[in-house]
Amino acid sequence: MEINELLNLITSLFEKFGYPMIFLGSLIEITPFGWAVPGGVILVIAGYLANGSETLNLVPIIIAGTFGAWLAFILAYALGSKTGMWLVKKLHQEKNADFARRILKNNGAVILTTSMMANLTRFWISYIAGVEKINFLKFNIYAYVASITWVSLMTILGYFAGYEKEYLKNIISGIGILAWVFLAIAVFVIARAIKHEYHHFKKDKPHDENR
C-alpha cells in the first residue's frame, strides 16, 4: 500500500466514523486505560483532515471531543464518590491516588486544568475528588474548562497543519520508500511509549511503609 493510499484510508475512516471515534478516543484517554487509545493523536488528525473537508468540521470535532473528556471526568468523580478507594485497590494504583490526593489538597479541583498531559494522574485526580467529596459544581466547571481547552488545542493544532496538506502529500510521494522507514520509526516510538505506560499501569504497586 502506498503512503497516499494509507492517507486516503485514514481519511475515509474519519469521514465515516469521525465523530464517534473522537468522542470515544477523548473519553477513553482520560480513563486508566488511556495508554491504549491515543485520544490526542485522534484529535490532531481530525483537525488536520477537517481543513478543507466537507464532512468533518472544526466545531463539531471540538464538541465531540470535549463531551467525551468531560464525561470521563464526571464518571471518574461519580465512581470515586460511590465506591471510595475500591478501584484504587483493585488496580493497585495507591501511588497515583496518593499523589492525586496531595495535589488536590494543595490546589483544589483547579488542578484539573493543568493535569491534562499526565495520562494516569488526571483520572485519579477526578476519582479522588469524588472520594473526598470535593464540591461537585466547582469540580464540574474545572473539568469542563480542562476538557475544552485540551481538545481545542489539539484540534486547532491539527487544523493549522492542514494548511500544508498538499505540500506534505507531495513530500511523501516524493520520498517513496523512505516515508515507510519514517512511518516504521514513528510506530516503534509510539509502541514503546504505550508499552511503557502499560508497564507503569500494571506494576504501580502500593508503597510498603514498613520497609
70-86 confidence digits (pLDDT tens): 999 999 999 999 999 99
Of residues 203 and 94, the one with the higher pLDDT is 94
**Does 182 map to a domain?**
yes
Alpha carbon distance 6, 192 (integer Å): 22
**Does 208 map to a domain?**
no
Average the pLDDT over 3-10 and give the result: 72
Average the pLDDT over 130-155 and give the result: 92
Residue 187 sits in which domain range? 3-203
Q: Provide the 3-class DSSP secondary structure of residue 210.
A: coil
**Does 46 map to a domain?**
yes
Our count of domains for the chain comes to: 1
pLDDT in tens, 95-126: 888 988 988 888 887 888 776 656 667 889 99
**Does 211 map to a domain?**
no
Residue 176 has pLDDT above 70, yes or no: no
**Does 209 map to a domain?**
no
Average the pLDDT over 38-63 and give the result: 90
Q: What is residue 106's predicted lDDT score, i.e. its pLDDT?
A: 86
Q: Provide the 3-class DSSP secondary structure of residue 101.
A: helix
**Does 190 map to a domain?**
yes
Show Cβ contacts of residue 132 under 8 Å, excluding neighbours closer than 6 positions: 80, 101, 104
**Does 143 map to a domain?**
yes
Burial class from Cβ neighbours inside 10 Å (0-12, 13-18, 19+) for residue 9 reads exposed
Average pLDDT over the chain reads: 80
Lookup: cell for 28: 477513553
